[in-house]
Every structure is written in structure tokens, then in C-alpha cells.
A and B are shown apart, each in its own frame.
Chain A
């Protein structure tokens, strides 16, 4: 197990370095940063002064090295727009996004996996039909529309939940449902397909022939094998959710990292964009690494490959 983990960790670090270089290069891919900073009315001399001030005149690799060295210490420079350190700007926003993301994926897994298992145990039953309907509806409904429907129903008509903001846990209920419901259909269908395949396998017949009860067959023998692809999918979706959903954050006026990313792109605030891209990518890398480790624990065949 340990050699497998070390190998995956090494790969993850390599991917992280590549991503960091790409996100650093964005600064140069979007035109002359010194000219952009100095403003439209700046003279040639002003631009040169800005270039020296910010160190843009040094070789790119040197700049990358310095940026990376600062970044790993949590120092992402100063936002062009807010004139504040990027890290303090992001920290607030990220806690909102992380709360929402963790709640969203938890909601998705807690509804999708039991529903997928129930649907697979009795294909074409009422439960299976209901699960299929829910997943098609979830896939077809745009998040902003579903969010608005919830706001109209639960915040305005019934007055049970606050329509927007992030000041208490009750503010997170509707965003969690909207974000989680977006991820639910794929997880549900994959769980169902995995369970159906596993339930037809010979080792399930062996388990029954041993005299194992249905619950034991389903949860000890079948689910552990069926859940393996679901783990990988959930990791990707978790990464996506922690990257912030601009749509959900906008509808519920949750000022999270996704919303900040969208604003910063619009404002050409490159240090903020760079930092966010790097952080979002790290989420993906970390969750994929964790998913690999979890899968190797679930499936011994993966450890040796």
C-alpha cells in the first residue's frame, strides 16, 4: 500500500507543478502586464517604470520561481483591483465556498448512493422509476432555475428559509440542495449501473451459496466493489464544487470563491485569478489523490498495478 501511495503522491506533485507553471504563465499570455497595470494614458517611460517596479523585466523562469516560492508560503501578491493582499481576499471567500462544497457533495452522496443501490436491487420497480425521474429532472433543470424555484417556494411563499446571504447555517440549506442535486444524477446512475453489474457476478452467487443474508450480500460483498468508480467520480465533482459554482453563488448571493473568480476575470485582476486557479487546481489534485488512495484500499488489485 505504501509504495502505491508514494507513487501517486509523486505524480500529484508533478501535476501540481505543471498547473502552477500554467497559471503563472497566464500573466504573460494576456498581453504586457506592465502596460495593463500602468493604464491606458501612461507614457512609454511610465510603463518601463512599472515594469521595473513589479520585476517584469527579469527572465520569466526567475519570476516563476519567485512567485512559486511566495505562493507556497501563502503569499499571492497584491490584488490590482482591491489593493489588498490576495490571500486575505481569498480566505474569506474560500470558507463560504468550502462550506457549500462539502455540504453539497455530502448531500449528493447521501441521496445518490442509497437511491442507486435501492434501484439496482429492484430494477424497473417503483423505486427505480422514481430514481430515474429524479436523476433526469436533476440533469435537465438548470441550477439557476431550480434555485429560483426554491427561493420562491421556501423563502417567499412559506417564509421558512432566508433567500440569500451566508450568515447562518440556514442560509446554506437551499444552496446545498441546488448544488448537491446537480451532482446527484451522475453518482446515482453510476452506483446503480455498478451494483447491477456486480450483483450479476459469480462472487455474489458464491456469497449467497455460502448462506450469507441479503443485507450482507448487498453491503459487504456487492457495494464495496460497485462503489469504486463512484469514488473517482465523486472526487472530480468535489473538486468542481470547491472550485465554486458561480451560478449557485450568484443566485443565493453567497460571496464565495467562484463569484470572486468571475469578478476578477472581468476586472483583469491577474494576481487574484492566478491564485484562484492554483487553489482550485490543488483541490482537484488533492481529491483525485485521496480518491486513488481510497480506491486502492477498496480494491486490492489497484495496489499492485
Chain B
């Protein structure tokens, strides 16, 4: 079958530009990443760092005014850069499924849950309504919805946010996709529901051997579920690699800053202030040169204004002028 060493999704040099009245906004710059079958890649970063745009670029649902460029964007042999609209449509919802942030508004209010689940399957597979209905019931049960058969006749407004997100997850799984892109799937939910939905998503993707790109700004989530981590800052992947490496041996000053922002049992002193990263994200309009983090970085030097080399031993890579990132400067042995 498929070569196990060959990535399912391979992206090289992904760049997204948005023309604005006062110049071009370089929203995403020269992004590289690979994802293998069954792997979970977590992309972390603050709002506006380009995480969501990256995921929309993969499934080809960017707004028309956004310009997409890349040297390579390959999904299991299909070149996503040259794929026709029809080819993209055949992939979307079928082999690549997407779960969005807002369960309250991401289901159509005019149709029943059943209609929408059945549609997801019948858009791609030539199956009878009856079979599609059975598949819908099976998946609703899988995502932990009781009395699944009777739920099919309900409308989205009759369900709570947590239930709706379960329906959205079931919908994404209808065609047995190979890749699920989940864009902050739990952000809009109550904290108690967040954990449930997330572990459901992770369990199901593992059980069904589905690769997942999970976009989040919750580092706690990342630590639990990620095989790989990509840290985005101002449109760049500033550090990426296996989760154990990025968390165990963070190199980029921004990653280190982020990790100081979350309390760690046993390490963070009770009552001590948590870390913060002072400053704001720079404007990405016009020429963007050098390291975008330099204005907020405690280790910034003159050379940060120039082109930044990619460092690290693959697969753990980072972008910084300092050969060991911020480790030495922050008093850790290299």
C-alpha cells in the first residue's frame, strides 16, 4: 500500500499575502511542515499568528483576496497547488475533513442533524439514504450521543454547544477521512466540556488512525495530545519538532516564553507570578525583514534585523540568530 515513510501531507514554503489599502499583509511566510498518517500535529500561537489561515490554505477555502504561494503542497500524491476546483471538492469532507471553532453557528439552522450528516456522506459516496442514516447513527453513538436515532430529526438549535460540537465531529468522520483539521475545536465551549470533547477527538483519531492538525493556543492540550508541535509567531513557524523535544528542550525564545506562561506542577512556585511576554505582535504590512519576535525578545541583538538562519537538528528545527536559541543565554547547558 502506501509507503509509510512518505508523508501524507507535505507543505514547503507556504506563503499567504493579503493585499490591503496600505500595502501587502504578509500573513504567513515560508511555512514548512510534514504530517504522516495517524500523526497529530499541534500548531500553537497567539491570535493572528496565521494558524487558521494555514489550515484554510490546505483545504483551499481561503477568501478570494488572499494570495497563496508555495513551492510544494502535496496530499498523498495530489498536488494541492494545481488541483482543480473539482479535485479539491472531492478531497474536502471526504479525505480531508475540517472541524471549526464555533459549534453554535457551524451547523445550518434550517436542516436537521440527520440531513446534514447524511449529506456529508452522500456528497462523496454513492450510498443509499438508508445506509447513510445507519452510518450517521453509528457515528453519533461513537461520539457519545445517546438516543442517536431520535437525534437525527432534531435541529441544531435544540442541542447544546457541547452536543453540537459532537455532531460536527461525527460529521467530519462520516467519510472516514485520512486527515482532520481541527481549528480550535474546544475554544467556544465550557471548560468542563472542553476536556471531554478534546479527549473524544483524540481517542477517535487514534482509533481510526486519522492524521490530525490541531490548531490551538492551549499549551496544556498540546502537551497531552501532540506527536509533533509547530509554534507559530507572526506568520512564521519559529520552532517545530517532535512534541517531546519542543517541550523538553525548547530553543526559540518565544517558545520558552510561552512555556513560562503556564503553571507546571512541581516546578512553578505556589503564589509566584506566572511569566508573561511583554510587548505586542509587530505589523506584518509592507517589507517584513529579520526576526519578527526581536521587539519582544530579551536576547535580541543587532543581527536579528537581518535574515534569520534555520537551525537545529531535524526534525527539531527553529529560527534564531543564536546557534542554541535562548538556552545558553537563559543559563541552561547546551
A interface residues, Cβ below 8 angstroms from B? 201-203, 205-213, 221, 224-225, 298-301, 304
Beyond A202-B102, A300-B157, A301-B155, is A209–B109 a contact (Cβ under 8 Å)?
A: no
Query: Which residues 82-120 of B sit at the A interface, judged by CB distance below 8 A?
Result: 89-94, 97-98, 100, 102, 105-110, 112, 119-120
| Given known contacts A202-B100, A206-B107, A211 and B155 CB-to-CB distance under 8 angstroms | no
**B213 close to chain A: CB less than 8 A:** no
**CB of B123 within 8 Å of the partner chain:** yes
The answer to whether B124 has its CB under 8 Å from any CB of chain A is yes
A232 to chain B, nearest CB (A): 16
Question: Given A201-B105, A211-B123, A221-B108, A301–B100 Cβ distance below 8 Å?
Answer: no
Which residues of A lie under 8 Å from residue B93 when comparing CB positions? 209-212
**In this complex, which of A203, A209, A301 has the most chain B Cβ atoms within 10 angstroms of its Cβ?**
A209
Contact assessment for A203 and B109 in the assembled complex, using a CB-CB cutoff below 8 Å: yes
Structural contact, B108 and A207, CB atoms closer than 8 A: yes
Q: What is the CA–CA distance of A225 and B106 in the complex, to the nearest angstrom?
A: 14
Excluding A209-B98, A301-B109, 10 further A-B contacts by CB distance (< 8 Å) are: A202-B105, A206-B106, A206-B168, A209-B92, A210-B92, A210-B171, A211-B124, A224-B110, A301-B155, A301-B157
Bound-state Cα–Cα, A17 to B168, Å = 48
Residues in B with CB closer than 8 Å to A224 are 110
Residues of A contacting B108 in the complex (Cβ-Cβ under 8 angstroms): 203, 206-207, 221, 225
Q: How far is the CA of A304 from the CA of B119 in the complex (A)?
A: 25
Interfacial residues, chain B to chain A (CB-CB below 8 A)? 59, 61, 89-94, 97-98, 100, 102, 105-110, 112, 119-120, 123-124, 155, 157-158, 168, 171
The reply to whether B120 and A210 form a contact with Cβ atoms under 8 Å apart is yes
Task: State in angstroms the CA–CA spacing of A210 and B92 once bound together.
Answer: 6
User: A residues within 8 A CB of B61?
Assistant: 205, 208-209
How far is B122's CA from A186's CA once the two chains are assembled, in angstroms? 38
A208–B92 CB distance below 8 A: yes
Contact residues in A for B90 (Cβ distance below 8 Å):
211
User: Are B157 and A205 in contact (CB-based, < 8 A)?
Assistant: no
Residue pairs across A and B with CB atoms within 8 Å: the count is 67
Alpha-carbon distance A211/B60, docked complex (angstroms): 11
**Which of A208, A212, A213, A299 interacts with B110 by CB under 8 Å?**
A299
Contact of B100 among A209, A221, A298 (CB under 8 A): A209
Contact A206/B100 with A201-B105, A299-B110, A300-B157 known, Cβ cut-off 8 Å: yes
Residues in chain A near residue B59, CB distance under 8 A: 209
Assess whether A205 is in contact with B109, with CB atoms less than 8 Å apart: no
Most buried by B among A202, A203, A210, A213: A210
In the complex, A304 Cα to B90 Cα: how many Å?
37
Q: How far is the CA of A225 from the CA of B156 in the complex (A)?
A: 14
Residue of A nearest to B155 (CB): A300
Q: How far is the CB of B189 from chain A (nearest CB, A)?
A: 15
* Residue among A208, A210, A213, A300 making CB contact with B109, cutoff 8 Å: A300
Instruction: Please pick, from B92, B100, B107, B110, the residue contacting A211 in the complex, using a CB distance under 8 A.
Output: B92
Which A residue's beta carbon lies closest to that of B154?
A: A300
Question: What is the CA–CA distance of A159 and B119 in the complex, to the nearest angstrom?
Answer: 54
Cα distance, A203 to B89, chains bound together (Å): 16
On chain B, the residues within 8 Å of A300 by CB distance are 109-110, 112, 155, 157
Determine the distance from Cα of A207 to Cα of B155 in the docked complex, in whole angstroms. 16
Specify which of A202, A211, A298 lies most central, judged by the most chain B CB atoms within 10 Å of its CB: A211
Contacting residues, chain B, for A221 (C-beta < 8 A): 108
Give A91 Cβ to nearest chain B Cβ, in Å: 41
- In the complex, A213 Cα to B105 Cα: how many Å? 20
Query: Once the chains are docked, how many angstroms separate the CA of A211 from the CA of B119?
Result: 10
A210-B123 in contact given A300-B110, A300-B155 (Cβ < 8 Å): yes
B110 close to A209 (CB less than 8 A)? no
Give the distance to chain B from A259, nearest Cβ to Cβ, in Å.
42
Distance (Å) between the CB of B177 and the closest chain A CB? 11
The residue on A at minimum CB distance from B101 is A202
Minimum C-beta distance from B83 to chain A (A): 13
CB distance from B259 to the nearest CB of A (A): 32
- Nearest-CB distance from A10 to chain B (Å)? 25
Q: How far is the CA of A212 from the CA of B112 in the complex (A)?
A: 17
Query: Once bound together, how far apart are the Cα atoms of A140 and B97, in whole Å?
Result: 49
Do B89 and A213 have beta carbons less than 8 Å apart? yes
Residues of chain B within 8 A (CB-CB) of A202 are: 100, 102, 105-106
CB distance from B141 to the nearest CB of A (A): 21
Shortest C-beta distance, A229 to chain B (Å), equals 14
Whether A225 and B109, one on each chain, are in contact in the complex, defined by CB atoms closer than 8 angstroms, is yes
Q: Which residues of B contact A225 (CB under 8 A)?
A: 108-110
15 A/B residue pairs, CB under 8 Å, sorted by A: A201-B105, A202-B102, A202-B105, A203-B107, A206-B98, A206-B107, A209-B98, A211-B89, A211-B92, A211-B93, A211-B123, A299-B110, A300-B110, A301-B155, A301-B157
Q: How far is the CB of A209 from chain B (nearest CB, A)?
A: 4
Residues from chain A with Cβ under 8 Å of B92 in the complex: 208-211
Residues of the B chain whose Cβ atoms lie less than 8 Å from the Cβ of A213:
89
B157: nearest chain-A partner, CB-CB: A301
A210: nearest residue on chain B (CB-CB)? B93
Tell me the bound Cα distance from A213 to B108 in angstroms.
16
What residues of chain A lie closer than 8 Å to B123, measured between beta carbons? Answer: 210-212
